[in-house]
Amino acid sequence: MRGVSDVNGCLTDWPRVLRCSDAEVHEQRLDGQRFSNQAPFKERGFLDFVKWKLFFGGTRWPTWIESEPQQVPEQRVMGDRLSITFINHSTVLIQYQGVNILTDPIWNHRVGPLNILGPKRVRRPGVRFDDLPPIDLVLITHNHYDHLDIETLTLLSGTFAPIVVTGRGNTPVLQEAGLATIYELDWWGSFRYQALDIMFTPTQHSSGRGLFDKQKSLWGGFVLASPAGHVYFSGDTGVGPHHAQLRARFKEFRVALLPIGAYEPRWLMKAAHMNPPEAVEAHQLLNAKVSIGIHFGTFANLTDEGIEQPLRDLAEALTHAGVEPGRFVTLGFGETREDL
């Protein structure tokens, strides 16, 4: 059944797939069968990947870092309180307005096809899967393997049957995981869940899980909008016009979750991945009261910088920019921050 409109103006498909749009999204998002960025860049191809692997060695990561997963302090965080738990990579547990939200969840040991290719993790997730509180919403920013992991989503589907929110075109791969309720959003499209308005927002990035599906699904970030303060989850992004657009629309953010890793070599990564100085600029552009760095220290040699380099580069960038202590922080794996 197609073309049935729900109360939010979203198109509903069976089983429960909702495609939500905003009038602004149609001007330049989809060209034929492929999506594009607001500031288009040349997508790096297979030969660039080969050049990188042959001529740019990078800094070797440790094989394994022993760490003990932490317990999530509460099952639910009620009222206007806000709790953020950093689990690993871009996986964050956001507890806000009585809702439990997971971002780009991954508990798998690798990020790549068939669990035999791609970078391996070097430490356990900061929270055991079995220790998660009930998960209501899962936010998927794009379909790269380190952000959309089928095995993890299958576990979530069987355990919690959460609603999944993502960009347009990601439903087929999500349904492989048995997920039944999927909201597909265009940029600036939104829907309400309990007390939160969830909006899918532009980023400067790409999509694709193989050689033939490049840019065929939409990538983006998320805003959780509330009168008690807005939460921004960036996902992967390079520098683009979207941070200024978000500031113009939302004025300020209670918390921004910004990527600080996977940025070297710059000739390959710059267009689609911010480095720490650029993340600090994004923090300032967004007018975030607090920013938290994510997307680092989990999977070996995704890019060329060493495992500790993002933290060192972030500290230097914050000092150079004169950002007040505590305004842009990182959390330990499994660490929860509640004073936000």
Is residue 30 a part of any domain in this protein? no
How much is the average pLDDT of 159-177?
A: 96
- pLDDT at residue 107, as a whole number: 98
Is residue 305 a part of any domain in this protein? yes
The domain in which residue 311 lies consists of 4-21+70-337
**116: pLDDT confidence band, cut at 50, 70 and 90?**
confident
Is residue 217 a part of any domain in this protein? yes
The SS3 assignment for 286 reads helix
CATH number, domain with residue 329: 3.60.15.10
Is residue 327 a part of any domain in this protein? yes
How much is the average pLDDT of 99-123?
A: 94
Each residue's pLDDT tens digit, 3-18: 222 334 454 443 345 5
Least trusted range by pLDDT, from 36-50, 170-184, 263-277:
36-50
Each residue's pLDDT tens digit, 233-284: 999 999 999 999 999 999 999 999 999 999 999 999 999 999 999 999 999 9
Strands (E), 168-305: 181-185, 190-193, 196-201, 221-225, 231-233, 253-259, 288-294
Of 167, 169, 107, nearest in space to 135 by CA: 107
Is residue 300 a part of any domain in this protein? yes
CA distances, 74 to each of 30, 99, 120, 254, 256 (Å): 42, 12, 30, 20, 22
pLDDT above 80: residue 324: yes
Alpha helices in 1-146 (DSSP H): 46-55
Q: Give the sign of the dihedral formed by CA 108, CA 111, CA 112, CA 117.
A: negative
Mean pLDDT value across the chain: 90
Is residue 80 a part of any domain in this protein? yes
Between CA 336 and CA 126 the distance in angstroms is: 10
Question: Taking a C-beta distance cutoff of 8 angstroms, is the pair 253, 173 a contact?
Answer: no
What is the number of structural domains in the chain? 1
How many H-runs (helices) and E-runs (strands) does the chain carry?
7, 19
Between CA 141 and CA 222 the distance in angstroms is: 8
Is residue 198 a part of any domain in this protein? yes
